[in-house]
């Protein structure tokens, strides 16, 4: 019985050794040879900001010493952050033995624009509601689309709390996938009572205007609001507008709208204007 057990153990050891040798030989074959070489018909390409992987792969081929043409295996491995208006695209190619070849070239987005912030509500709050400020702030990017989840805000005035009444400068910032960070400092108005902004809706709460362009603050009143302001009678609604917009100078400005009925303030709201 002991002799039989000894024979079985020796047999298992030989089989294990054979398996190990077989694995080593297989691995040696898989890692032998050379990696594919990637070739470009141009060292730099121009693409649109919404370019799909197929566009980035135009003019890219690959050859392997053993397999020949392996262009169908080429993939985009990654896109770097932007520098001087261009990104670096890294490509990979594979052969039948699992070797990986890599190469890079630059790509320029012909229609690239920096991310822009959006606002779905005015930057006017009661002191007990300013914590909801971020609910109405978003951002859009020509490459990534909606990047609202990446928006962050900072308030740097340590001498006065953000809940204090008055205007406060709040910095918004967002970064897109190519590494560009955009910052915008906006004036946030805080008052002791509710501004009732829903009673004086605007068509927009943040607009970007070119320097020396035209601007009509009345045109941003909603149609219903503009009609109400034009009605005659003792119960007529009046909309007062206060603006510091200077279209000759780049900067961030505020336009305040106040609706008054029977000499009583009904609601207040604010439009942020960015002059570029």
For 128-171, what is each residue's pLDDT tens digit? 999 999 999 999 999 999 999 999 999 999 889 999 999 999 99
Considering 109, 141, 162, which residue would you say is the last residue of a domain?
Answer: 109
140 and 105 in a common domain: no
Please indicate, yes or no, whether residues 99 and 132 belong to a single structural domain of this protein.
no
Instruction: State how far the Cα of 63 lies from the Cα of 101, in Å rounded to an integer.
Output: 10
Name the CA dihedral angle for 122, 127, 130, 131, rounded to a multiple of 10 degrees. Answer: -160
Q: Quick one: pLDDT at residue 265?
A: 82
Domain that holds residue 72: 37-109
Based on the fold, state whether residues 144 and 131 are members of the same structural domain. Answer: yes
Task: Give the global pTM.
Answer: 0.77
pLDDT 10s digit of each residue in the chain, 276 long? 333 333 333 333 433 434 333 323 233 344 568 999 999 999 999 999 888 889 999 999 999 999 999 999 999 999 999 998 899 999 999 999 999 999 999 999 999 999 999 999 999 999 999 999 999 999 999 999 999 999 999 999 988 999 999 999 999 999 999 999 999 999 999 999 999 999 899 999 999 999 999 999 999 998 877 666 665 555 667 889 999 999 999 999 999 999 887 778 889 999 999 999
- Do 210 and 186 lie in one domain? The reply is no
- Assigned domain for 26 exists: no
pLDDT digits (tens, 9 = 90+) for 218-255: 999 988 776 666 655 556 678 899 999 999 999 999 99
Which of 109, 132, 163 delimits the end of a domain? 109
**Signed CA dihedral, 265, 270, 271, 276: sign only:** positive
Residue 67: give its domain's CATH number.
2.60.40.10
Structural domain contains residue 22: no
Place of tokens 């004086």: 200
Residue 2: its pLDDT value, please? 36
pLDDT attached to residue 113? 94
| 54 is a domain residue | yes
93 and 129 in a single domain? The answer is: no
Taking CA 22 as the corner, what is the angle to CA 18 and CA 27, rounded to the nearest 5 degrees?
Answer: 150
Residue 230 phi/psi, 5-degree rounding, is -95, -5
Domain contains 6 = no
Q: Provide CB contacts within 8 A for 143, sequence distance 6+.
A: 49, 50, 109, 112, 176, 177, 178
User: What is the model's pLDDT at position 18?
Assistant: 40
The residue written with tokens 């406060």 in the block is 168
In 33-70, which positions are buried (b, 16+ CB within 10 angstroms) versus exposed (e)? eebbebeeeeeebebeeebeeeebeeebbbbbeebeeb
The structural domain count of the chain equals: 3
Q: How many other CB atoms are found less than 10 A from the CB of residue 107? A: 19
Residues 75 and 202: their CA atoms lie apart, in Å, by: 47
The CB density around residue 82, as the number of other CB atoms within 10 Å, is 19
């Amino acid at each position: 019985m002991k002799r039989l057990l000894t024979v079985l153990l020796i047999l298992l050891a030989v089989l294990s050794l054979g398996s190990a040798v077989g694995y080593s030989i297989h691995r040696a074959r898989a890692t032998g040879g050379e990696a594919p070489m990637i070739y470009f018909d141009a060292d730099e390409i121009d693409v649109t900001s919404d370019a799909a992987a197929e566009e980035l792969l135009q003019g890219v081929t690959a050859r392997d010493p053993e397999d020949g043409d392996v262009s169908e295996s080429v993939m985009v491995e990654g896109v770097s952050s932007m520098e001087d208006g261009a990104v670096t695209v890294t490509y990979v190619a594979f052969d039948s033995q699992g070797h990986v070849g890599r190469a890079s070239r630059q790509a320029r987005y012909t229609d690239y624009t920096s991310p822009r912030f959006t606002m779905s509500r005015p930057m006017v709050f009661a002191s007990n509601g300013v914590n909801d400020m971020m609910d109405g702030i978003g951002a859009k990017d020509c490459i990534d689309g909606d990047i609202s989840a990446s928006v962050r805000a900072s308030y740097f005035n340590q001498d006065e709390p953000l809940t204090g009444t008055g205007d406060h400068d709040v910095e918004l910032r967002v970064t897109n996938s190519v590494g560009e960070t955009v910052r915008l400092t906006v004036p946030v108005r805080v008052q002791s009572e509710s501004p009732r902004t829903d009673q004086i809706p605007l068509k927009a709460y943040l607009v970007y205007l070119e320097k020396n362009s035209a601007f009509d603050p009345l045109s941003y009143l909603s149609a219903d609001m503009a009609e109400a302001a034009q009605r005659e009678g003792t119960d007529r609604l009046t909309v007062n507008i206060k603006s510091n917009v200077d279209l000759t100078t780049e900067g961030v400005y505020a336009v305040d709208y106040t609706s008054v009925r029977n000499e009583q303030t009904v609601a207040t709201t604010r439009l942020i204007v960015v002059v570029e």
